[in-house]
Amino acid sequence: MKSLERSLLVCLVLVAPSISALAHSAVEPVPRGDQGWKDRQDLLNKRAAEAGEKAQVVFIGDSITQGWEGEGKEVWAKYYAHRNAVNLGIGGDRTQHVLWRFDNGNLNGLKPKAAVVMIGTNNSNGEDNTVEQIADGVTAIVKKLRAKLPQTKVLLLAIFPRSESPCPQRGKILQVNQILQKLADDQSVFWIDFGYKFVGSDGTIPRELMPDYLHLSRKGYEIWAESIEEKLAGVLGDTAVKAAQSGAGASAATLTGEWSWTMDTPNGPVTGAMNSVGQRLPINAMTPRILAHSSLGEPLRLGVFASLR
């Protein structure tokens, strides 16, 4: 009897380390206790039920995903409203909370063609989870999502960079992304990494993209939408939404029509036809203002003398 007890004790000692290595907070589904989270969870369940099979795409994540309803709402309306997209983001969530939500209503009734997943930044705080543990948590999310929605393609996004300047936490996130990239098979799971677009040449993150160096501005959400649109449209089998042209106003290359010019002179305005956009105009020191425009009424800037009406 003592020999049997001794053998069992040895087995427990040998097995215990492997159990603790597998079980950690990032992979154990748990809810959060605050009322705000519970209310948001109930709202997401309601959204999922109402959208049902009409939803073509769902977005899964934390406050950065929830932010599509704030700073990103106009971009969302342009890119995702016509696709009956469902936002399943909850501020402050970690991988373990998303795992719990999957088992408690967030996916009920949904059969989207695509799921956009970006989660894990909150797990990277301090010493809460290691690089490996965060990667385990995101991996568990992808696996559970594939099990519950086998026909849904997963667009797995690299966790976005954070903090104004390079720091250990940003490095930790980069290491997690290196592991997560291996989950892509380019058939059911697609990896998309555009985090570099949020970082300047000096390594800092500009406030115009992340006002608090974590959450996105409208411009930040435009970058997100534009960066995944080609792949998302391909998965959905629809027409890609065209990105807005950068910069204010239109350029001469994008304008059409018959061109003419108007020049203010001491004797009053003079108007003439232009054979081409590059035609030289009669200007001198007495010419304070020159305006070229097409028959469609579009203005063209002409050097330092140009002005817009």
Q: What is the DSSP code (8-state) at residue 269?
A: E
Phi-psi bin for 247: left (phi > 0), alpha (psi -120 to 50), beta? left
Residue tagged active-site, from 34, 185, 212, 238: 212
Backbone angles phi, psi at 264, to 5 degrees: -80, 130
Query: Which residue of the set 25, 63, 163, 188 is catalytic?
Result: 63
193 catalytic per annotation: no
- Only one residue has tokens 């002179």, namely 265
Closest CA to 95 of 22, 20, 32: 32
Other Cβ atoms less than 10 A from the Cβ of 162: the count is 20
Enumerate the β-bridge partners of residue 116.
59, 155
Overall size of the chain counted in residues: 309
Active site residue 212: yes
| Active-site hit among 124, 136, 215, 294 | 215
The side-by-side arrangement of strands in the sheet containing 153-157 is 86-89, 57-61, 114-118, 153-157, 189-192
Q: How far apart are CA 108 and CA 104, in angstroms?
A: 8
Q: How far apart are CA 118 and CA 141, in angstroms?
A: 10
**Residues involved in catalysis:** 63, 212, 215
